[in-house]
Structure 1
Amino acid sequence: MKLRRKRVRPIALDDVTIIDDARLRKAITAASLGNAMEWFDFGVYGFVAYALGKVFFPGANPGVQMIAALATFSVPFLIRPLGGLFFGRLGDKYGRQKILSVTIIIMSLSTFCIGLIPSYASIGIWAPVLLLLAKMAQGFSVGGEYTGASIFVAEYSPDRKRGFMGSWLDFGSIAGFVLGAGLVVLISTIIGEESFLSWGWRLPFFVALPLGIIGLYLRHALEETPAFQQHVEKLEQGDRDGLREGPKVSFREIATRHWRSLLACVGLVIATNVTYYMLLTYMPSYLSHNLHYPEDHGVLIIIAIMIGMLFVQPVIGLLSDRFGRRPFVIIGSIALLVLAIPAFMLINSNVLGLIFAGLLMLAIVLNCFTGVMASSLPAMFPTHIRYSALASSFNISVLIAGLTPTVAAWLVEASDDLYMPAYYLMVIAAIGLITGITMKETANKPLKGATPAASDIHEAREILQEHHDNIEQKIEDITEEIAKLEERRKNLIQQHPHINE
């Protein structure tokens, strides 16, 4: 039976997607707001952990209270892989926009409900149980949130600006964290610590509901991403029926065919999020509980550090479009490996300026990771499995990273060594370095399974010419390889007595 070879049509100027600036800005705003709300909760939770420990675990000593409150933060990460599998499959089936609208509803409602939970003194053991259930609902929705938002922005962005545009997603994360932490400081300053422990800690969680409503409005008004629309349009009617049934590729097949991408994703997510949670979730508790630094001073330092990160974040994204994503992962990993112990020496000095310098070192390292993560991850997988593969691998990795605050607190308590978090970060730096060295460079390239995307017609012409030049170079390389193989073939034939040309 003779197989028919499918004729591939040359890519023309009409095949290059021109991204509308207004739609792009709306997409980034909508995606970033949802991510900001996710980290708003993390910011609030990290900065009120001491209060939650007293409200929901009143019978334990202060150290155990802190660990218990941070454990309630970490346990929902066990649910995130399930949410990733669930929403990832739906995202590849129904599209990115619809799923992001659902996740922001669940996320805002579950955060709002935390503020409604009575204290342990009122309902006993049901108080921490309800807190855990609310955090698990958060974890389930967040399982599809960040990956969906990063895919949404990546599929809307021009190829040459994907790093810069993607960096605004984690800009939203940091901004949400600053908003959450700042709100905690503002409320506690106005009403006093006693009132804050009594009822004031609830107020920041109530803010999540109006933020969620705004985010839902923005996401609902958006169209589906160009890359996903192209994917659907390319399918024949029979394949469209298959699309409605969901992705036909199993996770096992993804792991077999795309194992390099999966490992790169896991490594980058672990390096980024362990550093993230160590600096922004664990450090407030470390400063107040372990170093006995005044809580309000420690909070203000962290907020100042995070505001500085907001300015660095888009700069890293912009530079990654010029120099690539890999250099920043490698530089950040080496810096974390070398500077982790010096940073904690400064943090433990009990001198305000030195504490700030130590935290700033870790913050700049973190910017190297967050500045490129949102643009790197979606480029690792093709369109038809992008949401499923990325959500699964991302949330398995975050499951490990999410244990950081609890593990760090336990290590310090168990060993009585204030440098345990630094050693922890050095191990993570080694993982990041291996990832940066082995991952493929994706800057300025089309997403897998999608046509090139440009900001305007002039850029589209340049991209098309670069594409044709790349094809010509590949043809020359293949021609050279064929010549080498032909020469080798002749040499082998000459060595065999019964084979003639």
Structure 2
Amino acid sequence: MTTSEAGQPVEVDEKTVRKAVGAAAMGNLVEWFDYGIYSYVAVIIAHNFFPGGDSASNLALTFALFSVAYLVRPLGGLILGPLGDRIGRKRVLALTIVVMSGASFCIGLMPTFEMVGWFAPLLLVVARLVQGFATGGEYGGAAAFIAEYAPDKRRGFYCSFLEFGTTGGFVLAAGLVTALQAGLSPDNMNAWGWRIPFLIAGPLGIVGLYLRSKLEDTPAFQQLEEAASVSESPLRDVLTHHWQPIVRCFFLVLFYNVAVYAILFHMPSYLEATLKLPATTALLYILAMMLLIMFVIIPIGALSDRVGRKPLIVTSAVGLIVLSYPAYLLLGRGTVGGTIAGLAILGVLLVLLLGTMSATLPALFDTDVRYGGFSIGYNLSTSLFGGTAPAIMTYLIVELDDPTLPGIYIAVASLISFFVVIKMKESAGHPLPGAKANVARGESSAPQPS
């Protein structure tokens, strides 16, 4: 299918939509809570799993292990995404949340280097690989799940809750680690306190599984089933006939992922290890920035329904090209004012993407290959450019002794993506490709002009 299905629009119950949004966002919260924890206790993990050597080298090793999960994310997307197009979004999303939270729970139980030697980092690698595989099927499925449930004219609003869950996972992780650092002595935090956030991921995953199990699959996927149009080989179909949207997705999320992983993942360790701020102070800065992002992310999503996704994404891309380096110059001054100003610039530009991308990307693909195409393009880009960003930035800072280099890295990534961003088609207000229009009760189904 290349165009929206003919026929009467699907009238959606917004109460059901809200339940679908909650279930999908909860899974995303768990995913990024898991990943956030790792970043926020990276210095402690470096101490416990890579003893000896200087702290900067151990931190680089820790972020290299962070990147390991991203080696298998494309494989997870390649397998789990098309599986979601064949058996349904709901079943695969139930699997991903169980595996992700289970892997984090296991990290909380792992022995340290002092206990078992090099077997400890090996176990950490295995857990990160399992987590990365499952994550490869999470974001694409969750975004498709919300997009296919939401009324077309409010897709930006509802899809922004997915990134609200993402930021909520970061806030929960940062807040919990901050509380532990404030309440425990450094010795206790290094000895056992760092395990607590990982162990909490287990119960969070159970809650997410419960929420997802209470919903039917999306209206768009049910339309495929009713029409007997579910592909027997969605992987073959997407790679053979839909490779162009995969390429567009790959480049659209390139700068998005670099910005996310630089600002939300790498920044706490950057403030602590590079700028020498106390660990609690560094996390408080990040926590304040993320709380402000959470406050505006949903209004940004709603705004994209009115003015379009493209103007907001273009603004962010241009802003990151021009302002990323100055923002890191401000951060590098090491003053309270410079730190706040630098984080404010980066946070504003990031939230323009967080509020729009989860509604933009599902609209690149037809229903029968949406989960798979999204997951393949997104995770391949994330693996190459997102998950590697913290390790590359740490390495550049250590080797070249220049704390502003992450700003240049973000700017270059944004420049690469910009040439795809300016050519993207506007999707706000239009039905998803290959599906009937979704309308709320009493709402007109006429699309907005492009």
Q: TM-score range by the shorter chain?
A: over 0.9
Higher relative contact order (CA 8 A, sep 6+): 2
CA contact (8 A) 2:235 2:372 kept: no
Q: Deviations over 1:455-489 (max 9, x none)?
A: 11x31xx325x59xx9xxxxxxxxxxxxxxxxxxx
Residue of structure 1 in register with 2:239 after alignment: 252
The correspondence of residues 260-339 of structure 1 with structure 2, limited to 5 A, is 261-339=245-323
| Structure 1 unaligned residues grouped into runs of 5+ | 1-7, 471-501
Shift of the alpha carbon at 1:163?
A: 0.6
Shift of the alpha carbon at 1:435?
A: 2.2
Q: Indicate the percent of aligned positions where both proteins have the same amino acid.
A: 41
Q: Deviations over 1:14-48 (max 9, x none)?
A: x2111111110110001001100111012211110
Secondary structure, counterpart of 1:454 in structure 2: strand
2:395 is the alignment partner of 1:410: yes
Aligned length: 447
- 1:463 maps to which of 420, 436, 445: 445
Residue of structure 2 in register with 1:477 after alignment: none
Secondary structure, counterpart of 1:377 in structure 2: helix
- 1:394 maps to which of 363, 378, 381: 378
Residue of structure 1 in register with 2:404 after alignment: 419
For 2:236, give the aligned amino acid.
V
Shift of the alpha carbon at 1:266?
A: 1.1
CA contact (8 A) 2:34 2:101 kept: no
Distance (Å, rounded) in 1 between the aligned partners of 2:84 and 2:268: 36
Distance (Å, rounded) in 1 between the aligned partners of 2:98 and 2:406: 35
Q: Deviations over 1:202-231 (max 9, x none)?
A: 000000011000000000111010000011
2:360 is the alignment partner of 1:360: no
- 1:29 maps to which of 5, 22, 30: 22
CA contact (8 A) 1:332 1:366 kept: yes
Of 350-359 and 205-214, more deviation after overlay is shown by: 350-359
CA contact (8 A) 1:264 1:438 kept: no
Residue of structure 2 in register with 1:66 after alignment: 59
Shift of the alpha carbon at 1:60?
A: 2.2
Secondary structure, counterpart of 1:429 in structure 2: helix
| Structure 1 residues 210 and 365: alpha-carbon distance in aligned structure 2, compared to 1, 3 A threshold | same
Distance (Å, rounded) in 2 between the aligned partners of 1:352 and 1:154: 40
Distance (Å, rounded) in 2 between the aligned partners of 1:88 and 1:47: 29
Distance (Å, rounded) in 2 between the aligned partners of 1:38 and 1:206: 14
Secondary structure, counterpart of 1:144 in structure 2: coil
Distance (Å, rounded) in 1 between the aligned partners of 2:390 and 2:243: 31
2:376 is the alignment partner of 1:373: no
CA contact (8 A) 2:310 2:424 kept: yes
For 2:84, give the aligned amino acid.
G
- 2:156 maps to which of 148, 156, 163: 163
Residue of structure 1 in register with 2:103 after alignment: 110
CA contact (8 A) 2:82 2:235 kept: no
RMSD: 1.8
Distance (Å, rounded) in 2 between the aligned partners of 1:52 and 1:199: 11
Shift of the alpha carbon at 1:262?
A: 2.1
Shift of the alpha carbon at 1:286?
A: 1.0
For 1:420, give the aligned amino acid.
L
Q: Deviations over 1:218-250 (max 9, x none)?
A: 001110100000111112xxx56xx4x442734
Residue of structure 2 in register with 1:194 after alignment: 187
Residue of structure 2 in register with 1:488 after alignment: none
The TM-score with structure 1 as length reference comes to 0.87
Distance (Å, rounded) in 1 between the aligned partners of 2:173 and 2:366: 35
Secondary structure, counterpart of 2:215 in structure 1: coil
Shift of the alpha carbon at 1:11?
A: 4.6
For 2:334, give the aligned amino acid.
N
The correspondence of residues 188-227 of structure 1 with structure 2, limited to 5 A, is 188-227=181-220
- 2:126 maps to which of 133, 136, 142: 133
Rg (Cα) greater in structure: 1
| Structure 2 unaligned residues grouped into runs of 5+ | none
2:432 is the alignment partner of 1:450: no
- 1:383 maps to which of 367, 371, 388: 367
CA contact (8 A) 1:90 1:246 kept: no
